[in-house]
Amino acid sequence: MKPILRSLVLASTAACSAGAFAGEVQVSFVNPSQFEDAGNSILEEPDNLDALARYLQALGRDLLPANQTLRIEVLDVDLAGRVVNPATRVRMVRAGADWPRISLRYTLEEDGRALRSAEEWVSDIDYAHGKVQRYRESEPLYYEKHMLERWFRQRFAGESPPQAR
């Protein structure tokens, strides 16, 4: 009986701590047909944009308090790397001048009141250097997810940017 009781206590503790978060992120795309580079083809672009929206929503559930809503309008997307062969969807990433960039406008609300709004480019010039442990390079939108998570944590979870070494 003790192992069952211990499991129930741990489960309820986890549920209570998880309830402190679960904020909402609403993502919309403004003129996506005009985006610089949202994918290798018109078939891949909607999947990439959907994946970015779902990722931002997951970050909100994990990092925003339940009484906060973040409204994001994506104005432009330029994925890391360059397409070298659209037929095979091969994207070349060389740590050169084609870093991931996403232009967006956002409003953070708490209990229906606007806390802050801004328009900015989220970018990662140093995207191909250093360790990105949570993501695998074979994962779709690997660099963009890493970039968005760092941005989200700095803007909305109060985390400091990593110090230069």
- Burial category of 137 from C-beta neighbours within 10 Å (exposed 0-12, middle 13-18, buried 19 and up): exposed
Looking at per-residue pLDDT, the higher value among 86 and 140 belongs to 140
Q: From CA 87, how far away is CA 84, in angstroms rounded?
A: 9
pLDDT digits (tens, 9 = 90+) for 16-53: 444 467 899 999 999 999 999 888 778 889 999 999 99
Spatial neighbors of 45 by CB under 8 A, at least 6 apart, are 32, 35, 38, 39
Q: From CA 163, how far away is CA 165, in angstroms rounded?
A: 6
Give residue 112's region: left, alpha or beta (phi > 0; psi -120 to 50): left
Q: From CA 15, how far away is CA 164, in angstroms rounded?
A: 37
Among residues 43, 118, 111, 34, the alpha carbon closest in space to that of 73 is found at 118
How high is the pLDDT of residue 134? Answer: 54
